[in-house]
Amino acid sequence: MKVILTYGTFDLFHVGHVRLLERLSKLGDKLIVGLSSDEFNNGKGKSSFFSYQERAEILASCKFVDLVIPEHTWEQKETDIKKYNVDVFAMGDDWEGRFDSLKSLCEVVYLPRTKSISTSEIKTLIAELKKNDLDKVQKSLNDAIEIIKKLNYSE
């Protein structure tokens, strides 16, 4: 049995995640996903919209994923490779070269990301929507204040 291992935060689960997991699953017989814990994310200066438990449930429901394990530290990758008898350690190509040190333990591959989608882009779009909405509310309030001022001056 060929075991594949990958890691990630997998927040705001989207089609890019699905496509990556599908490609990863085709590399072997069993796909294990190391999912960044909330504490680990906090230590990296990241925060997730969904909690670890929610993200783990979402990942576990994906037909391409066989096992979800918590990722607590950067250093645990070597231990996990040995513990789960991993044949292939795989990551998105945005991590190219960062895990080459694991090549003495297993094959290391970097897969291309899905074009035109990322969690960071989604979060940016949501933030921009919120800002646009707030800007519209502020403009409406400013317009209302101006109307009230004009009404008060005309009396």
Which residues are tagged catalytic?
Answer: 44, 46
Select from 36, 33, 149 the least CA-distant residue to 91.
33
Q: What is the DSSP letter of 114?
A: P
Strands of the sheet containing 30-36, edge to edge, are: 67-71, 30-36, 3-8, 88-92, 107-111
- SS3 letters for 101-112? HHHHCCEEEEEC
Give the CA-trace dihedral at 84, 95, 35, 80, to 10 degrees: 20
Half-sphere exposure of 115 (CA within 13 A, CB side): 0
In sequence order, the 6+-apart residues with CB closer than 8 A to the CB of 82 are 105
